[in-house]
Amino acid sequence: MTHTPGNGRAEQAARIAAKPWYRQLYVQVLVAIVIGIVLGWRWPDLATDMEPIGTTFITAMKMLIGPIVFLTIIGGIAGVADLKKVGRTGIKALTYFQVGTIVALLTGLVAINVFRLGDGVHADPSTLKTSGDASQYVSQGEHQHWWEFLTNIVPNSFFGPFVEGNILQVIFLAVVFGIAIKMVGKTGEPIIAAVGRLTEVVFKVLSFVMKAAPLGAFGAMSYAIGKFGLSTLTSLGSLIVLFHVTSALFVVVVLGGVLALYVRLNIFQLFRYFKEEFWLILGTSTAEPALPGLMRKLQFMGAERSTVGLVVPTGYSFNLDGAAIYLSLATL
């Protein structure tokens, strides 16, 4: 069944309104974050023991990301009447990703040069020492060629990307399989039907895991505060504030402008629609657990499955605007 954007939002709003406020997932996650902060502040030793709760939840989410991306892309591509449409969508997405990342970097550079938070630090980069874990990435980056990023998209084995959690390689496999299924015609129709049914099952498993989101947020926040202290919420406060303000302006102005111009969608309405995913990201300190829910909600709004399955996972690899803003601020 295909939902139009208007009907999808209306049904989603009705479904959410039918739940008492205390049964809303984002409310439970928010409460869990607050409890985790209090536990880490008052009983740090006990709080650090909560780490397995957070890491187990994130592991469970990562377990589902690969299959969801793979099945969604295959089902979307194989169900499209014109494969050229998928290609055009991919080109448009990659173009936006490139432009968006450059704009994000420039936004961060402008912000840090205007407010100049690093003045007075007087750090000498030549005297800084990296730890063993960090130095290996520095060495790897120095000897890595630009074209290796493209060649590494091709996996060494079929199951390797799922085991390693390499979403970009999963996308590559899904695109190849989706095109192949589409091109074999009627022979691939039973496979398309099976992919659709399996996708429903995987999303049902996802709904089970998402019920544990408050526990995951509680475990992650408890460990972070208990391990590093309450100061982790306030240390380098000026940089954190500048990052969030810069990111908010970028999202509202750049992303909001694109949505208003091409989709006729209000960015603030989108914020309310994805509030559960935002709180989940805040509580677990990683965006990956929000990927399946984001894809599901976009399809519910009326976005085509092929577009969602191709653009959203690819954006997690190519369009890290928040990381671009943070790195430009932190580097200077």
Q: What is the pLDDT of residues 54-106, one digit of tens each?
A: 889 888 888 888 888 888 888 878 777 677 777 888 888 888 888 989 999 99
pLDDT 10s digits, 116-128: 877 766 666 666 6
Indicate whether 32 pLDDT > 70: yes
* Residue 322: exposure state from Cβ atoms within 10 A (0-12, 13-18, ≥19): middle
Query: CA Rg, the chain, in Å?
Result: 22
pLDDT at 6: 47
Max mean pLDDT range (4-18, 114-128, 230-244, 286-300): 286-300
pLDDT at 103: 92
pLDDT at 3: 44
Domains parsed from the chain with CATH numbers? 5-118+129-331 (1.10.3860.10)
How much of the chain exceeds pLDDT 90, in percent? 6
Structure tokens at 174: 């899904």
Q: How far apart are CA 177 and CA 195, in angstroms?
A: 12
Indicate whether 229 pLDDT > 80: no
pLDDT at 164: 83
Summary mean pLDDT of the chain: 80
Indicate whether 107 pLDDT > 90: yes
Instruction: Show the DSSP H helices in 229-290 as ranges.
Output: 237-250, 256-258, 267-273, 275-284
Q: Residues 268-274: what's their mean pLDDT?
A: 87
pLDDT 10s digits, 297-321: 888 888 887 788 778 887 877 778 8
Residue 44 or residue 317, greater confidence? 44
Name the DSSP class of 129. Answer: -
pLDDT 10s digits, 154-195: 888 888 888 888 888 888 898 888 888 888 888 888 988 898
Determine which of 1-10, 18-27, 226-235, 254-263 has the lowest per-residue pLDDT on average: 1-10
What is the H or E stretch that residue 205 is in? helix 189-210
Task: Place 131 in a pLDDT band, splitting at 50, 70 and 90.
Answer: low
Q: Is-contact 242 117, C-beta < 8 A? A: yes
Residue 204 or residue 140, greater confidence? 204
pLDDT at 303: 83
Ramachandran region, residue 322 (left: φ > 0; alpha: ψ -120 to 50; beta: rest): alpha
Indicate whether 200 pLDDT > 60: yes
Q: Is 143 helix (H, G, I), strand (E, B) or coil?
A: coil
pLDDT at 110: 92
